[in-house]
């Protein structure tokens, strides 16, 4: 704002009345006709300055949809001559929002409003619409291409209509056109060549949903970006602009569903009062191709319906759910369906009545089926009454149910067998249930990966899991193949991501956490995309197209995931964080209501070595993977080192591939992790000149916090494990700042998301 002060000074000097700073008397007393003009110019400059100040203020609200003027005039002109006018009949709400996005995007990027026309009459049109509704488009798209686009795919193609060159954005549905519009804008935002386009894109998975772990009081379980976006108290009357911008952001990356409330569900969402609020949100999201879903509490018939049971085979219970489904669909005809966490961590479920997960899921599926709704039934279950390794329990409960679920049920499986750790092997259910529709559950919010303060780009995690070899239908069958239904008889396909959004001005808390929302959507659309490609797109749209910025920061993003694994849980360690709030290191946790809520349960450190023996000599969790993976995991010499301590209890002095002992290697990873964060800080410092001060400073402060916390993780963990290894720290590790006792005595209250 200091620069604003320059204007009175300019006017003062211009006026020649150097003894007074009274701008108004200057203006009224001394102006001549010529000077009127100069005053006008000054005011204009002042306004323009204020405006430019405003657009340069980057609080992150605009996410990756910034549409700022393309600075390079040559490129801008090139684009401008390719898009001289838009032909886009706006027959539906979705077409209207697609057109408005296109118009808004182009005018921001190109600096002028691209006019609308009702037909192609000269070169340079963007012709957008559905194939069936526009004969010009239909003539340009073969029946075969149209078929392969499916319901949501689109094409963007340079073509000719009436002998005039134009860019076609076409799809079978309006939502497809909307996705195409966002893709087209992305091309411009990332400065791609648009002179000869031939893009064909269709989503690999049908359901691409966000799971909000949002409670009715607006607190978000494991949320680190403020309160819930949903203002239940003011709904349905008050429609916050955020709802619309949320829908735009999701549509821009192809997300087509949102589960509004926490999996630890409150029955209140099924009351008539709340269903009206849900309907209001559904109405906002509909034009953007987004359907709403609800997490439901299995015991709702007891809590809301006054029944004495929620037994899924009970006639009255079925009838209660049927009535509820009727009520929901009367209000929201395109309601997506239910997400259910049952018989897990204390939630009610069919097993309370001696029934199976399939009994519960199928009962709900039957009431939703007439309306086209689905049930997403979670496989995140474990039971401490069972002596079995927690990593094995979902498989034990679900595999025998393969083939028994209704066609409109998806079993939602977390990416790994424990719980969204910085690194886990893929969940063995992928490949074990060929006759069930399995969907993936990723966690976008960083519960175990630095929460609100660590820069951890999740693209590499998504890529690693999705490309994991499963052998489900021979060599070369990845988790992505299973999700896409290529290895079995899936009737539905899908993916869910636990959202990281909240009321923070920049939506996600950490400016780089936006990249994880973005990456989730891009991987959901195309599970074979690379983390690097996604990071590059996001950086160009969110920050800058300058290679001097993009290249180093992209590298920083890619390494950030390995960094967090190194300074938190290297070599296959897992679940050694603070109790309940999951903040910070706490490998010493040994007293908890359940053994499998302690850290010692998972790392098993003793005087001999470290790690959980899941080989055939131990819990034999390896047997849940298909051959030859199971043999590979079972053999400590062939098991990938990144999973070594996940599957094996390894002697401290065992030599690893590097020639270093386990203890030395462990130290190396912890110290390397901290060094990587230092590197990230150096990188960030070096690119500050290319971006706005606001976001630069905010990321810098967060990286400083991350560095201190990485040191804390390293020192606390190494000091703790040293009490078992009884070996000195290698010379490459700096001496810890504090004693082990100091770290053990740290207490944290009010950690967000807890
Ligand atoms: C764990 C979270 C817990 C969730 C649970 C789940 O700590 O808050 O309720 O997962 O997925 O990661 O149900």
Q: Which of 691, 459, 746, 444 is nearest to 578 (CA)?
A: 746
Per-residue H/E/C for 327-365:
HHHHHCCCCCEEEECCCCCCCCCHHHHCCCHHHHHHHHH
Per-residue model confidence (pLDDT) at position 57: 65
pLDDT tens-digit series, residues 588-632: 999 999 999 999 999 999 999 999 999 999 999 999 999 999 999
For ligand 1, atom 11: residue with the closest CA: 380
Percent of the chain with pLDDT over 70: 92
Per-residue model confidence (pLDDT) at position 23: 46
For ligand 1, atom 12: residue with the closest CA: 419
For ligand 1, atom 9: residue with the closest CA: 264
Per-residue model confidence (pLDDT) at position 387: 81
Give the pair of three-digit tokens for residue 217: 């009081």
498 CA closest ligand 1 atom index: 11
CA dihedral 743, 746, 750, 754 (to 10 degrees): 40
CA dihedral 747, 447, 243, 545 (to 10 degrees): 110
Tell me the pLDDT of the chain averaged across its residues. Answer: 94
State the distance from the centre of ligand 1 to the C-alpha of 222, rounded, in angstroms.
8
For ligand 1, atom 1: residue with the closest CA: 419
Per-residue model confidence (pLDDT) at position 41: 57
State the distance from the centre of ligand 1 to the C-alpha of 379, rounded, in angstroms.
12
Best of 422, 447, 577, 581 to mutate for ligand 1, by most ligand atoms within 8 A of CB?
447
Per-residue model confidence (pLDDT) at position 385: 78
Which architecture does CATH list for 207-542? Alpha-Beta Barrel (3.20)
Per-residue model confidence (pLDDT) at position 27: 47
State the distance from the centre of ligand 1 to the C-alpha of 263, rounded, in angstroms.
8
Percent of the chain with pLDDT over 90: 91
What ranges make up the beta strands (E) of 444-515? 494-498
The set of residues, in sequence order, having a beta carbon less than 8 Å from that of 305 and lying 6+ positions away, is 320
What number is the average pLDDT over the span 39-63? 63
State the distance from the centre of ligand 1 to the C-alpha of 420, rounded, in angstroms.
9
262 CA closest ligand 1 atom index: 9
DSSP label at residue 626: P
Give the pair of three-digit tokens for residue 711: 């040191």
Q: Which residue has the higher pLDDT, 374 or 57?
A: 374
The set of residues, in sequence order, having a beta carbon less than 8 Å from that of 226 and lying 6+ positions away, is 220, 502, 503, 504, 509
Tell me the pLDDT band of 35, cut-offs 50, 70 and 90. Answer: low
For residue 46, give Cα distances in angstroms to 7, 335, 692.
7, 50, 21
What ranges make up the beta strands (E) of 88-203? 116-117, 125-130, 154-161, 164-171, 198-201
CATH of 566-612+649-744, one of 1.10.10.10, 3.90.1330.10, 3.30.930.10, 3.40.50.2000: 3.90.1330.10
Per-residue model confidence (pLDDT) at position 386: 78
582 CA closest ligand 1 atom index: 7
pLDDT tens-digit series, residues 184-237: 999 999 999 999 999 999 999 999 999 999 999 999 999 999 999 999 999 999
Best of 212, 263, 451 to mutate for ligand 1, by most ligand atoms within 8 A of CB?
263
Best of 376, 380, 499, 577 to mutate for ligand 1, by most ligand atoms within 8 A of CB?
380
Owner of token pair 């899924």: 312
Best of 214, 215, 222, 449 to mutate for ligand 1, by most ligand atoms within 8 A of CB?
222
For residue 128, give Cα distances in angstroms to 88, 140, 157, 365, 429.
5, 12, 11, 38, 42
Phi, psi of 294 (to 5 degrees): -125, 145
The answer, yes or no, to whether residue 424 has pLDDT greater than 60, is yes
Rg of the chain in Å (alpha carbons) = 29
Question: Domain 73-201 classified CATH 3.30.379.10?
Answer: yes
Q: Which residue has the higher pLDDT, 226 or 24?
A: 226
One DSSP character per residue, 449-467 reads TTTTT-----HHHHHHHHT
The answer, yes or no, to whether residue 321 has pLDDT greater than 50, is yes
CB 680 within 8 A of CB 557: no
**Angstrom distance (rounded) from CA 514 to CA 61:** 10
Per-residue model confidence (pLDDT) at position 59: 97
Q: Which of 576, 597, 571 is nearest to 588 (CA)?
A: 576
State the distance from the centre of ligand 1 to the C-alpha of 394, rounded, in angstroms.
14
448 CA closest ligand 1 atom index: 12
DSSP label at residue 309: -
DSSP label at residue 472: B
State the distance from the centre of ligand 1 to the C-alpha of 79, rounded, in angstroms.
47
pLDDT tens-digit series, residues 135-190: 999 999 999 999 999 999 999 999 999 899 999 999 999 999 999 999 999 999 99
The set of residues, in sequence order, having a beta carbon less than 8 Å from that of 606 and lying 6+ positions away, is 724
Which residues are marked as active site?
Answer: 345, 419, 447
State the distance from the centre of ligand 1 to the C-alpha of 639, rounded, in angstroms.
28
Per-residue model confidence (pLDDT) at position 381: 96
The answer, yes or no, to whether residue 26 has pLDDT greater than 90, is no
Residues with CB under 6 A from ligand 1: 221-222, 263-264, 341, 345, 380, 419-420, 447
Number of H helices, E strands in the chain: 25, 16
443 CA closest ligand 1 atom index: 12
Report which secondary-structure segment, H or E, holds 320: helix 315-331
Using DSSP's 3-state secondary structure scheme, residue 611 falls into: coil
The answer, yes or no, to whether residue 524 has pLDDT greater than 60, is yes
């Amino acid at each position: 704002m200091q620069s604003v002060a320059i204007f009175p000074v300019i006017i003062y000097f211009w006026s020649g009345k150097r003894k007074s700073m009274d701008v108004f008397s200057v203006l009224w007393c001394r102006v001549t006709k010529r000077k009127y003009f100069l005053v006008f110019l000054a005011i204009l400059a002042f306004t323009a300055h204020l405006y430019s100040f405003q657009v340069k203020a980057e609080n992150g609200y605009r996410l990756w949809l910034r549409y700022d003027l393309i600075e390079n005039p040559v490129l801008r002109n090139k684009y401008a001559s390719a898009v001289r006018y838009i032909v886009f009949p706006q027959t539906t709400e979705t077409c209207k929002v697609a057109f408005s996005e296109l118009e808004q995007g182009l005018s921001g990027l190109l600096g002028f409003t691209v006019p609308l026309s009702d037909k192609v009459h000269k070169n340079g049109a963007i012709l957008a619409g559905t194939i069936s509704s526009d004969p010009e488009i239909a003539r340009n798209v073969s029946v075969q291409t149209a078929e392969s686009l499916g319901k949501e795919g689109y094409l963007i193609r340079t073509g000719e209509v009436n002998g005039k060159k134009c860019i076609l954005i076409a799809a079978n549905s309006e939502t497809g056109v909307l996705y195409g519009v966002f893709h087209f804008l992305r091309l411009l935002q990332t400065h791609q060549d648009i002179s000869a386009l031939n893009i064909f894109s269709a989503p690999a998975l049908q359901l691409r949903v966000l799971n909000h772990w949002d409670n009715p009081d607006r607190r978000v379980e494991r949320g680190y970006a403020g309160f819930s976006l949903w203002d239940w108290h003011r709904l349905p009357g008050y429609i916050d602009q955020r709802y619309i911008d949320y829908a735009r952001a999701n549509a821009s990356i192809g997300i087509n569903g949102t589960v509004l409330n926490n999996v630890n569900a409150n029955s209140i969402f099924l009351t008539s009062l709340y269903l009206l609020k849900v309907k209001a949100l559904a109405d906002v999201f509909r034009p953007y191709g987004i359907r709403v879903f609800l997490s439901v509490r299995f015991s709702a018939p007891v809590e809301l319906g006054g029944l004495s049971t929620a037994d899924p085979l009970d006639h009255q219970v079925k009838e209660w759910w049927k009535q509820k489904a009727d009520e929901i669909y009367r209000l929201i005809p395109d309601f997506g369906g239910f997400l259910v966490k049952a018989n897990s961590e204390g939630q009610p479920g069919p097993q309370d009545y001696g029934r199976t997960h399939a009994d519960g899921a199928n009962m709900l599926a039957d009431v939703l089926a007439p309306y086209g709704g689905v049930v997403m039934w979670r496989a995140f279950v474990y039971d401490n009454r069972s002596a079995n390794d927690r990593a094995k329990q979902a498989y034990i409960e679900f595999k025998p149910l393969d083939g028994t679920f209704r066609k409109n049920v998806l079993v939602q499986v977390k990416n790994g067998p424990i719980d969204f750790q910085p690194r886990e092997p893929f969940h063995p259910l992928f490949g074990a249930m060929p006759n069930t529709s399995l969907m993936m559950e990723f966690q976008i919010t960083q519960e175990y990966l630095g929460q609100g303060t660590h820069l951890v780009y999740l693209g590499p995690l998504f890529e690693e899991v999705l490309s994991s070899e499963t052998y489900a239908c021979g060599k070369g069958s990845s988790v992505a193949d299973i999700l896409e239904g290529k290895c079995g008889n899936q009737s539905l396909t899908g993916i869910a991501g636990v959202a990281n959004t909240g009321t923070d001005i920049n939506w996600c808390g950490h400016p780089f956490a936006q990249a994880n929302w973005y990456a989730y959507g891009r991987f959901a659309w195309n599970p074979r995309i690379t983390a690097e490609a996604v990071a590059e797109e996001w950086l160009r749209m969110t920050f800058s197209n300058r290679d001097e910025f993009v290249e180093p920061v992209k590298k920083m993003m890619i390494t950030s995931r390995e960094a967090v694994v190194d300074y938190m849980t290297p070599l296959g360690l897992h679940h050694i964080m603070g109790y309940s709030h999951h903040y910070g290191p706490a490998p010493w946790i040994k007293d908890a209501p359940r053994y499998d809520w302690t850290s010692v349960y998972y790392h098993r450190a003793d005087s001999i070595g470290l790690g959980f023996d899941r080989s055939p000599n131990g819990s034999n969790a390896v047997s849940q993977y298909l051959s030859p993976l199971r043999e590979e995991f079972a053999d400590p010499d062939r098991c990938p080192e990144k999973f070594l301590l996940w599957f094996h209890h390894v002697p401290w002095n065992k030599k690893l591939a590097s020639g270093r002992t386990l203890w030395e290697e462990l130290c190396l990873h912890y110290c390397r992790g901290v060094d990587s964060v230092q590197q990230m800080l150096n990188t960030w410092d070096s690119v500050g000149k290319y971006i706005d001060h606001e976001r630069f400073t905010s990321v810098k402060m967060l990286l400083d916090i991350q560095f201190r916390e990485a040191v804390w993780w390293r020192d606390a963990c190494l000091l703790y494990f040293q009490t078992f290894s009884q070996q000195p720290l290698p010379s490459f590790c700096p001496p810890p700042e504090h004693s082990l006792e100091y770290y053990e005595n740290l207490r944290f209250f009010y950690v967000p998301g807890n």
